[in-house]
Structure 1
């Protein structure tokens, strides 16, 4: 028995191999919050964030294995409400626990998150052998930090593998011996497209847009609805009302992946059709297609050489994205039967069972 963990920047989930099947936990927000009584993780951390912003930590994965002066660290710090300072050249996160100021490394906070994922998926089974996935671009120091975080969570980390490789393994594409698979991962914060050489079992090319993700699709719908509310009622949505509108738009986006129309919350009552949503987001879909084209050109791979196309990341469920990719590859069928939200964790679990 073994487990696989998709340790994401925005959301994370865990799978466990039991018998002859993979069971996956629901994706949980990669949030850790500190309160007077201890720490809370995932959705519980998100739910209390508005009243405890200075002690609610998120996107901490980007600090792993980095120095404080790294550009990625410095640019991220400006958008966080919590404080990050340098200790011996490495970033540390400041939080307040019961009135006592404390400092935590990203590894320590990641261990809390990974421990929660483990307990939810396999804690009762006493299974601690795990494969953890990371983005392809992670450096050696970042991968070592992830492994250290897993060890801190009480896990025996069998290996750390790339997200795209795990997605391909989920469909057992690596057992086919040769060929290339394209993995399109539209996550919450970024979009990455990668080519996996199935014969070698590794990524041979990857390109990404690190400021284009699911949240941008959400924001398109939020902007449209804010305009509708203002034109109908003369109201500018701010504060708590805006937060509720964002939440309603996220739910409507999910509905529009399975239905042709959705109402943005009973409070707002704005009917949005799938066609309207696609019109709002068309420019971003074209950017995703441009990424695919750039990757194929830089890798000197023709579209006809791509044997399989794997969809990963929650927003890759958007029908418009899938349809345009099908058309780009001559109406080729996509590997999307496994929920793209959990396909990376699924593949990590399959690999963990193989190794064990």
Structure 2
């Protein structure tokens, strides 16, 4: 691509001519005196992206697998709102910042591209400040935003805000395509020298590997060239780009092997944001007539009104009328107003049409073309969809249909992505030349002849000889050399060099930002990013801690009423209360509480403590081998060694009823409450006893049967109670697995009785 300048030019550095042949599916570009390749079907291994930093929304694209792909953001959207917010905890960029804008209006910056590189006294900056809820102040002649951040005041420059947006887009792109080796950023064709320099500084602050800047209209023409069929003959197109903060018009000649920008012109007086402001002023006047208060005097109401008017503008592109409604937009006052398309045309159409016609006449005159020589009118930009814009364009070109084959919101990023892929390609066997014309970025009073429409970069020199008479009568001759440079980014620089007899001194006269100022912004951005990442890590830790608390409460909630378990559950409740009360938590505090929870839960989950192990050893020393095939098991009392047949004991239990006992009152008892105290008395040893004879067993069974016939009702009740106790035993056995058999050891005597009775029945 060769850039031509409307105000300055110089002889282009000579290079060898490149082969004119085209390889299959590969076309190359020659840009700024250097050769770069462009592939329709192939892609180099290095990853590159094209960025469109818009005043309303941003877009990023990349060439992948032979096609240009618009990369979606983390929310799945192909465009990202140009919002940056500062909160009590961190900074937000994109959709997250826009979603909270109504509640944090004074700390949410949007459309910073409008004031990028401008002085504070610029009318554009003053108009921006009048409609912005954010406080814009003067800092050495430059506008800065005064916001509240983490409980303190913070001043952020437009370059820093733009760098935050660029960094956000790069980070989301790297998630999808890996490390990025080259970036091309699309800028308005009407950007002046300081605006271009400010954007380059923003790229440096964000750490982007910037390859080049490309005008948005040129990027659109490149996207149009990429989409059209290769067999199409040469065309002359007019690109009309109406964005949120500018209107750019370019006349471009598109051929099979050449893209030439013949003329370019732009204006910022009637852009998409001016349509929004006209609607805001109209709605505010209507609201004042009804309620007697101004919405624009309240920052939060201003932000809500701006977002509502942007939505209203979109609705009126499809509908003849739409009602704007906002509940409690200002205190308890509601906004309910119907606006028609005719009212919108009345507000903006006449002024816009006059300015647009003047710009179109200028660009056609500079291109030395007539309206009938324009083959296609390519319309892009989000605000170009407004009905009166389309009607005015059609009227100027005598009813000619408008070309909308390229995506109005993504075309600049697509063209920049194609350019970025060109700049990192290694295959450069053929040549397609792009001649780009950029508008005059500045003016210079030093008389030096520079011919118009020559290729960039350029660097002419002018030497001035100054003669000074010394005190001793000696003639001292001093030379001053002026160097003018316009680099490939379109940034104009002036350098003054004093050539003295014994030394030389160089001074840069045009320098928008000093190196130390850029470094300060780099440090500030790194601090913002570090805090943002720390907050994200802390939020993740809080979520994990909360999930752990609920899981532990569910796991240990049925462990009984032991003191340790009760204390543990109380601490879990304390942690949950701490999470609810502290929205902003540090990662250290979360880790501290998590470690304590892990330690306490591990202590409760240990198999058996030392005391429980001693009880288990005592339990295992007893002989407890029940045989469920036999119907008699003998209990041996450790105190006197007497044995008792289970069948006889069961008969006595039935005879005595619930809570019955042996004749001597020392036998084992079965209490009504399973959780009752079973630790009174000695622990009995149980062993299996084989019946000596079938006759003895038969006699015992007959005795039980005879007595049961006399007390059938009592036996039925007792049997039902014993059956329930057997079912409860299965429950206790499961509880034993959870509580590590602690409860079973404490109630061993009672359990042995239950097992014995189960063997009988």
> TM-score, normalized by length of structure 2?
0.41
Q: Distance in 2 between matches of 1:205 and 1:146?
A: 23
In the alignment, the residues of structure 2 paired with residue 73 and residue 266 of structure 1 have an alpha-carbon distance, to the nearest angstrom, of 29
1:92 CA drift (Å):
6.5
The verdict on how the C-alpha distance between 1:159 and 1:70 changes in structure 2, with shifts beyond 3 A counting, is farther
Q: Is it true that 1:172 corresponds to 2:219 in the alignment?
A: no
Structure 1 residue 187 corresponds to structure 2 residue 240? no
Residues 114 and 245 of structure 2 are in contact (CA less than 8 Å); yes or no, is this contact kept in structure 1?
no
1:132-160 superposed Cα distances (whole Å, 9 cap, x missing partner): 11122335564354344334434322321
Give the CA deviation at 1:254: 0.5
Contact 1:54 1:83 in 2 (8 A): no
CA distance in 2 between partners of 1:104 and 1:340 (Å): 31
Instruction: Tell me the equivalent position of 2:211.
Output: 158
Distance 2:159 2:56 in 1: 16
| Aligned partner of residue 266 in structure 2, secondary structure | strand
Change beyond 3 A, Cα 1:48–1:81: farther
Residues 231-261 of structure 1: CA distance to partner in whole angstroms, max 9, x if unpaired?
6x56555245565444333212202223333
Alignment equivalent of 2:413, drawn from 337, 342, 345 = 345
* Partner SS, residue 248 of structure 1: helix
- CA 1:116–1:170 in structure 2 vs 1: closer, same or farther (change >3 Å)? same
* Cα distance in 1, alignment partners of residues 416 and 122 from structure 2: 30
Asked if 1:209 is matched to 2:267, the reply is yes
- In structure 1, runs of 5+ residues without a counterpart are none
Corresponding position: 1:294 with 2:354? no
Q: Give 1:6 shift.
A: 0.7
| Per-residue CA distance 1:271-303 (angstroms, 9 max, x = gap) | 444344334432134132332223223443211
Q: CA deviation at 1:162?
A: 0.6
Identify the residue that residue 23 of structure 1 maps to in structure 2: 70
Further displaced range: 158-167 or 322-331: 322-331
Contact 1:171 1:335 in 2 (8 A): no
Q: Which moves more between the two structures, 139-148 or 126-135?
A: 139-148
* Structure-2 separation of matches of 1:140 and 1:31: 25
1:198 matched residue in structure 2: 254
CA 24–292 in structure 1, closer or farther in 2 if over 3 Å, else same: farther
The CA deviation at 1:22 is 2.0
- Checking the alignment, whether the CA contact within 8 Å between 1:309 and 1:334 is kept in structure 2 is yes
Once the two structures are superposed, residues 18-73 of structure 1 have per-residue CA deviations (whole angstroms, 9 ceiling, x without a partner) of 3324225443343333334332123433455566566544554466567x688579
Q: 2:315 aligns with which of 234, 248, 255?
A: 255
Measured after TM superposition, the shift of residue 197 of structure 1 is 4.0
Aligned residue runs from structure 1 range 234-245, under 5 A: 236=293, 238=295, 239=298, 243-245=303-305
Structure label with greater radius of gyration: 2
Structure 2 CA distance for aligned equivalents of residues 250 and 234 of structure 1: 23
Q: Which moved more, 1:184-193 or 1:156-165?
A: 184-193
Judge conservation of contact 1:188–1:215 (CA < 8 Å) in 2.
yes
For residues 226 and 65 of structure 1, what CA distance do their matches in structure 2 show? Answer: 30
> Shift in Å at residue 222 of structure 1?
3.9
Residues 202 and 27 (structure 1), Cα distance of their counterparts in 2 relative to 1, 3 Å cut: farther
Give the match's secondary structure for 1:316. Answer: helix
- 1:161 CA displacement: 0.5
Shift of 1:91: 7.0
Q: CA RMSD in A?
A: 3.7
TM-score (norm 1): 0.80
Extract unaligned runs of 5+ from structure 2: 1-46, 73-77, 328-334, 425-761
Q: Distance in 2 between matches of 1:73 and 1:259?
A: 31
